[in-house]
Amino acid sequence: MSEAVVASKSSHDAGHAGHAAEVRPPAQWTGNKVFAEALAAYGADHFFYVPVILPGAVVEMTARRLNPIVAHTEKAAAYMADGYARASGRIGVCGSQAIGAANLAAGLLDAFMARSPVLAVTGSGTPETGERNFYQEADQRGFFAGVTKMSSRVGSPTRFADLIRQAVRTAVSDQPGPTHLEIAGFWGSLGTEEAPKPPAFEPQYGACPPCRPSGDPERIATLAKRLAAAARPIVVAGSGIRASQAAAQLLAFVRKAQIPVATSLDAKAAIPDSEPFSVGVVGDYSRDTANMAVSEADFVMFVGTSTGSMVTRNWTVPAVGIAAAQIDIEPRELGRNYPLEIGVLGDPGAVLNKLAAIIAPNPGRSDWLARIADLRRQWAEQAAKLEATSALPLRPERIMRELSDALPEGALVVVDTGHSAAWSCRHLYLDKRGQGLLRAAGSLGWSFPASLGAKCGQPDRPVVCFTGDGGFMYHMPEMETALRYGIRTVTVVNNNASFSQEKFLWRDEETLSRNWRFSPVDFAGAAEAFGCAAFRVERQGELAPALSAAFAADRPAVIEVISDPMVAAPPSWAPGSPGPAYGGAV
């Protein structure tokens, strides 16, 4: 019901009740209008939600040519907003009515772990309904406490504007992350009430980073001298590079300083695989040679990474105690897991620019750079054997090589966790101009809905989701969402009819096989039934033409690739290992 209808009906009812009430004109501003105006001001041109939440605001958004997207689950809506935010650099916005709040909060966990700026809004109870067993009402504070930087309640229409401003500013500033606003009323019905005309919003806070603190010059100068003096320095770069949009600054710095660089998977696309200073992805999901290079360094500079367990292989690569420096925009991250010689608080891009301006390469590092070149050669020679195999069913190494070769310029690849991440670390090569990658921070099933959000954030960019059958089955109904809104992504499903990553848990016992082996599922057939373009790949050489046809399709596309369920990604290399584990375990 529109605000105009609500205002007129209220006055009409009051008159019949015997009160002297004058029929007022429609409210100039309501909470709904404030919310839609805020999204427009911050450049958030999509709102991902499960109805019913702020329906009046949805009407206002549509009038402003914004794009409300109704998903099939709240968790998928949160993942879409997350993918939108990571791909576009702008604030992602999602919402649900009160009962869906727990599902929406669960979907924010990946954004929280990945430093992704997302604003979630939910309906809630009111002072009149609290503690009365009102339908679908629950206390939401606990749901959001652990997965947001801020969670506040909008209990008055006069607070809509300033709390939205605070929530957006908090989400994008410093270390980005999700925020939450609980709006009074079953479906946020507070939004229908009259609000004062809001103050001007702050468009600079619609994107990350809104501010680029450049760091203490003295610390940066000290760091430049320390890097120049090190015999075997290396850079370990993480998701802060993506959040800062600092890929160009990172590449320029390592080339100027002639220092090798390893990345987390989330920062993989910041450095082309063909770059001579790149050693690949380091940590638990990694290339063995990257772990070897980082373990052999005598000085490590962490940039935009939380130094968590995944990027450090449970803090063994590099070993705790290594001479280290760290650059991060969040002061709590400096020295969190590795004692530092030098910590620089600042935006990674801005600090790297300053470092590049004053650093000079050390001409005495020829042996170290030769070692890096040798590790790169070792990987290329050994990995090529499995990437060129003619074995059937297809091995994942061959699938990833064919996918790498077929991806067009500018493609954004969105990958799941688990084996999808492990194979992408090892055998996905992003060398063409403008290619990028986003990855789940840990939530299996994230990649498909996130890829839809990413495509909404960058509609002119080719977006490819790479997931396994186990991950895809989390959110298959969102194929209908993609079709309904014309979100033309291409989803590559590695179908090995299993959770093969868990195979080792069940000791190859037939009675336990159903704990990791799936019943046969025809994903291409399911996609076709949903109305999507569908392709099935079973042999070498079939993926490239399928990918080309999928991009040319006038609708979302799914490519099902049949692969060997008995091939598992090998464990990551660790200090003390006899040598690289190039081949997948069978």
How much is the pLDDT for 5?
29
- 222, HSE (Cβ side, Cα atoms, 13 Å): 14
Architecture of the domain spanning 28-206 = 3-Layer(aba) Sandwich (3.40)
Residue-wise DSSP of 516-527:
TBPPP--HHHHH
Cβ density class 148-169: b for 16+ within 10 Å, e for less = bbbbbbbbebebbbebbbbbbb
How much is the pLDDT for 584?
56
**pTM (predicted TM-score):** 0.93
How much is the pLDDT for 579?
66
Per-residue tokens: 6: 């609500």
Q: What is the DSSP letter of 553?
A: S
Nearest-CA neighbor of 417 among 528, 286, 285? 285
Cβ within 8 Å of residue 145, ≥6 positions away: 151
How much is the pLDDT for 477?
98
Report how far residue 261's alpha carbon sits from residue 250's, in angstroms, rounded to the nearest whole number. Answer: 9
How much is the pLDDT for 199?
65
The CATH code that applies to domain 217-372 is 3.40.50.1220
How much is the pLDDT for 22?
36
Q: Same CATH topology for 217-372 and 388-562?
A: yes
How much is the pLDDT for 581?
56
Could you tell me if 78 and 107 are in contact, meaning their C-beta atoms sit under 8 angstroms apart?
A: yes
The CATH code that applies to domain 388-562 is 3.40.50.970
Helical ranges in 297-429 per DSSP H: 309-312, 348-358, 366-387, 396-406, 419-427
Nearest-CA neighbor of 478 among 369, 547, 561, 558? 558
* Domain boundaries along the sequence of the chain: 28-206, 217-372, 388-562
How much is the pLDDT for 57?
96
Could you list the mean pLDDT of each consecutive 10-residue stretch along the chain, which spans 586 residues?
Answer: 30 33 54 95 98 96 97 98 98 96 97 97 85 80 94 92 96 96 90 81 94 97 97 97 96 98 96 97 96 98 96 97 98 97 98 97 96 97 96 98 98 96 97 97 97 98 97 98 98 91 75 86 98 98 98 98 93 84 54
Could you tell me if 397 and 387 are in contact, meaning their C-beta atoms sit under 8 angstroms apart?
A: yes
How much is the pLDDT for 310?
95
Q: What is the DSSP letter of 558?
A: E
The residue whose two tokens read 């001479």 is 323
Chain centre to alpha carbon of residue 273: 21
How much is the pLDDT for 154?
94
